[in-house]
Structure 1
Amino acid sequence: MATDVRIAQAIGTLGCTVAANDQTLTVYQGGIATLSIMSIPNLILPARRPPSATLPFHDTPGTSTTHLTHQWFDLYNRGSRIFPGISAVSSLANLYALWALRDSPTPAPDIFGSSWSTCYLLAVGFTLGIAPFTGIFMQKTNAKLMAHAKRDDAAIAEGTEDMVLSSQEKAKRTREDSEVIELLQHWSQLNLIRAALPLVGAGIGFYAAVSSWIIP
C-alpha cells in the first residue's frame, strides 16, 4: 500500500483518538473525555476531603459558584478552539484514504460492502458528530453555565458591581447559584457521551487501516 494512504490512515485514526481523550494535551486540561473524568470532578471538590470519604464524594465545593462557572467557561473556550480543528483534520485524512482506496476491494464485503465508502464515511460521521451533538443535546446546559459565568460582566464593566440588589434579584441569584453543581455534573455526563463519538470514529478508522494492510 502507498505510503501516503498509510499516513492518512494514521492521521485519521490518531486524530479521532486525540479528540476523544488525549493525555498529551494536559496544558489544555486533556481531551474531551478528560474534562468529564478529571477536570469537572476536581473543580467541584470541597475545600478538604475527609480521609474516610469514598468516591464518589459530594459536598460543598471549596470555591464559589461564580468561580466554578468561570473555570468551566475557560475550559469550554479552550476546547472549542482545539478539538473541532483536530476532528476536521482527522476527517479530511479519512476522506483522503477513502479516495485513495476507491478502486481497492474490501477484505470484508459482508461488512463494508463493495467499497470503502461505508467504513470511512462512518468514521467521518462519528468524528464530526461532536458538533451536532453539542448543538442538539448540550446547548441548553451550555447556555445556563455561560450566563452564570458572565452574569456580573456588565456590572463590573460599568463599575456597578457593588450596588445594592433588590430582594427579588437576590432570590434569583441564589436560585441560579444552587443550580450550578447540578448543571456541571449534567454537562460532564453529556460531554462523556460526546467524547465517545470520535472514539468510535477512531475504532472504525483503525479497523479500516488494519483491514487495508492485508489486501493482497
Structure 2
Amino acid sequence: MSLAAGFTGVHIAQLVGIGSSGYLAGFVSAASILGVPPLYFAPPEVATKQWAKIYHTGAAIVPATAATSFLAYLYLSYNSGHTVSPAEGYAYLAAGALTLAVAPYTLLTMMTTNRAIEAIAESKDAAAQGDQVTSLIQKWNKLNLGRASGPIIGFGIGLLALGGFFA
C-alpha cells in the first residue's frame, strides 16, 4: 500500500510505533526526573495534591500512547515477519510488548502506592503525615523510573529493527 509522498503503511507504522514509544519513555521518565523533585520541598498537603495532578495527567495520556505504540509495533511485527525476517518481526513484537508493559506494571506494582498517596491528598490531615508522604513519593518515584524502562528498551529495540539490525 502506497500513501502520499511515497510513505507506505510500514513507514507510517515505524514512525508511529517508534515515535510513540520514545515519547512515552520521555514522558514517564520526566514525571520522576522533573516532576517529583520539587515535591520534596513542598508541604505534605501541597505535595500530595501536586503529585495527584502529575498522576492524573499521566493516567490520561499513558494508556492511549502505549496502546497506539503497541498496535503500530504489532502491525510491523506481522508485516516484517512475513516480508523481511522472522527475527525482525519478533523484535518489533518485543518492542511493542515492552512499551505496553507500562499498564500491567502500574497495576501490579504501583497501585497500592498510588492509592495511598491519593488517600492522603484527599484527607484533611496530610500535614500530620509528612514523613509518610515523603516516603510514599520517594517509593513512587523509584517505581515510576522502573516503569519507564519498558518503553525505553522498546524504543531502543524499535530503532535497531528500523536500522536492519535483526534483518
The answer on 1:75 being equivalent to 2:71 is no
Task: Tell me the TM-score normalized by structure 1.
Answer: 0.69
Instruction: Specify the code of the residue in structure 1 equivalent to 2:69.
Output: S
Runs of 4+ with deviation above 3 angstroms: 114-117
Task: Tell me the TM-score normalized by structure 2.
Answer: 0.87
Counterpart of 2:157?
A: 204
- CA drift of 1:39 comes to 1.0
Contact 1:6 1:209 in 2 (8 A): no
Counterpart of 1:39?
A: 35
Return the match for 2:72 from 93, 113, 121: 93
CA RMSD of aligned residues (A): 2.3
The answer on 1:14 being equivalent to 2:33 is no
Whole-angstrom distance in 2 between the partners of 1:123 and 1:116? 10
Per-residue CA deviations over 1:34-60 (Å, capped at 9, x if unaligned) read 111111101222xxxxxxxxxxxxxxx
Contact 1:65 1:180 in 2 (8 A): yes
Structure 2: where are the runs of 5+ without partners? 1-5
Counterpart of 1:184?
A: 137
Contact 1:104 1:115 in 2 (8 A): no
Structure 1: where are the runs of 5+ without partners? 22-30, 46-62, 107-113, 153-169
Whole-angstrom distance in 2 between the partners of 1:104 and 1:117? 9
Whole-angstrom distance in 2 between the partners of 1:17 and 1:2? 21
Structure having the higher helix fraction is: 2
Question: Percent identity at matched positions?
Answer: 32
Instruction: Specify the code of the residue in structure 1 equivalent to 2:56.
Output: N
Counterpart of 2:99?
A: 127
Contact 1:13 1:90 in 2 (8 A): yes
Residue correspondences, number: 162
